[in-house]
């Protein structure tokens, strides 16, 4: 994946550094496994150098590309201020808007296109100003939802979302939501285990889901710092259907089953057995939402009945 970070004057530094570090760490994790990198990072803009939101100069920026290798992901980043401060008819903004219309839009909207346009925070306003928002579901920072709707009256602007995916357009809310968006995209192409490993290095174990404000059961019970518990959780997430006996779980952490049980209760708030059940139950829910018959989804994850599945999700039985 070629990942293009479009840098404008006063780009929010965390909008750039957060996702970029996530993709770099994904490559680092794969290198440790003897596997090739997934992402090639590019930093481009209408100017070779500009100041960031915190005053640190961002230099060595390449020009906006005239063609996009396949597949390419383009990230539009936020800037501080309200809508009027973000959307300014100044040369860098106008040049980037023109590039989106002339280069990115034709490539992005072509039939079978492998490309993707992603936005962080107020980057969605540039997407809208370039005319790509009509008929799409979008989100942005909660303080800019009205401004985004005004720029794109034919779009469906959603609040209370971490990120929203609509075809090739992926938009995210404010600042740290860019990291959630990057982790989600890493999981899509590299697998949940890779995304979980990156999240662990970033110390953002409590990954947030995108289109729903509620936390997914797959991401719950991870807001702790204990490496052995995380190691077991990563192993279960990578192979949820495996035969996870107490002894096998403990072997992953190199402790006894009794000690692992104490660690899980202390740091995750539940037993290892309950964690496995919740992960499997969440996967059943995802499979059903994707159209798989409930009976088949239950059998795949080893549930003998819908009652057992609901119990694992703490739902009424």
Residue 317 located in a structural domain: no
Kindly report the backbone phi and psi dihedral angles of residue 255, in degrees, each rounded to the nearest multiple of 5, phi listed first: -135, 175
Residue 201 located in a structural domain: no
- Which residue among 190, 207, 241 closes a domain? 190
pLDDT for residue 213: 40
Does residue 43 share a domain with residue 125?
Answer: yes
Does residue 174 share a domain with residue 258?
Answer: no
Half-sphere exposure of residue 149: CA atoms within 13 angstroms, side-chain side: 9
Structure tokens at 162: 């971490």
Residues of the chain with pLDDT under 70: 205-220, 225, 315-317
Does residue 262 share a domain with residue 144?
Answer: no
Does residue 222 share a domain with residue 186?
Answer: no
Does residue 79 share a domain with residue 163?
Answer: yes
Question: Quick one: what percent of the chain has pLDDT higher than 90?
Answer: 61
Q: What is the pLDDT of residues 295-310, one digit of tens each?
A: 898 988 888 888 888 8
Among residues 88, 114, 115, which one has the least CA distance to residue 100? 115
Q: By CB neighbour count within 10 A (0-12 exposed, 13-18 middle, 19+ buried), where does 34 fall?
A: exposed
Does residue 106 share a domain with residue 19?
Answer: yes
- 3-state DSSP assignment of residue 213: coil
Distance CA 232, CA 193 (A): 11
Among residues 308, 313, 228, which one has the least CA distance to residue 268? 228
Q: Provide the number of structural domains found in the chain.
A: 2
Structure tokens at 285: 């829910």
- Which residue among 151, 174, 190 closes a domain? 190
The CATH number for 245's domain is: 1.10.10.60
Element spanning 248, H or E: helix 246-253
pLDDT for residue 193: 78
The CATH number for 82's domain is: 3.40.50.880
Residue 101 located in a structural domain: yes
Does residue 237 share a domain with residue 139?
Answer: no
Residue 204 located in a structural domain: no
- Which residue among 171, 190, 209 closes a domain? 190
Residue 6 located in a structural domain: yes
Does residue 225 share a domain with residue 185?
Answer: no
Does residue 241 share a domain with residue 173?
Answer: no
Residue 86 located in a structural domain: yes
Does residue 133 share a domain with residue 228?
Answer: no
pLDDT for residue 214: 36
Does residue 235 share a domain with residue 180?
Answer: no
Does residue 164 share a domain with residue 56?
Answer: yes
pTM attached to this predicted model: 0.71
pLDDT for residue 217: 56
Residue 177 located in a structural domain: yes
Question: What is the span of the domain harbouring residue 307?
Answer: 217-312
Residue 276 located in a structural domain: yes
């Amino acid at each position: 994946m070629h990942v293009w970070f479009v840098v404008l004057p006063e780009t929010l530094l965390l909008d750039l550094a957060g996702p970029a570090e996530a993709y770099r760490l994904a490559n680092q994790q794969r290198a440790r496994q003897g596997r090739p990198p997934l992402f090639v990072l590019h930093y481009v803009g209408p100017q070779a150098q500009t100041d960031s939101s915190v005053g640190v100069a961002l230099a060595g920026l390449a020009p906006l590309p005239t063609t996009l290798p396949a597949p390419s992901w383009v990230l539009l980043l936020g800037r501080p201020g309200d809508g009027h401060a973000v959307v300014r008819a100044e040369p860098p903004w106008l040049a980037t808007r023109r590039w989106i219309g002339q280069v990115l839009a034709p490539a992005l909207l072509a039939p079978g296109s492998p490309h993707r346009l992603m936005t962080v925070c107020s980057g969605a306003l540039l997407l809208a100003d370039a005319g790509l928002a009509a008929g799409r579901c979008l989100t942005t920072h909660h303080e800019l939802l009205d401004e985004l709707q005004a720029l794109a009256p034919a779009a469906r602007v959603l609040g209370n979302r971490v990120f929203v995916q609509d075809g090739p357009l992926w938009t995210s809310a404010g600042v740290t939501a860019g990291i959630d968006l990057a982790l989600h995209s890493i999981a899509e192409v590299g697998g949940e285990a890779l995304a979980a490993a990156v999240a662990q290095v970033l110390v953002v174990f409590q990954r947030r889901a995108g289109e729903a404000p509620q936390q997914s059961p797959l991401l719950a019970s991870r807001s702790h710092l204990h490496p052995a518990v995380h190691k077991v959780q990563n192993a279960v997430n990578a192979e949820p259907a495996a035969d996870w006996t107490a002894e096998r779980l403990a072997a992953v952490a190199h402790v006894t089953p009794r000690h692992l049980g104490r660690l899980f209760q202390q740091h995750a708030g539940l037993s290892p057995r309950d964690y496995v059940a919740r992960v499997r139950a969440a996967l059943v829910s995802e499979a059903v939402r994707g159209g798989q018959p409930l009976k088949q989804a239950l059998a795949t994850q080893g549930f003998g009945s819908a009652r057992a599945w609901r119990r694992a999700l703490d739902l009424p039985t």
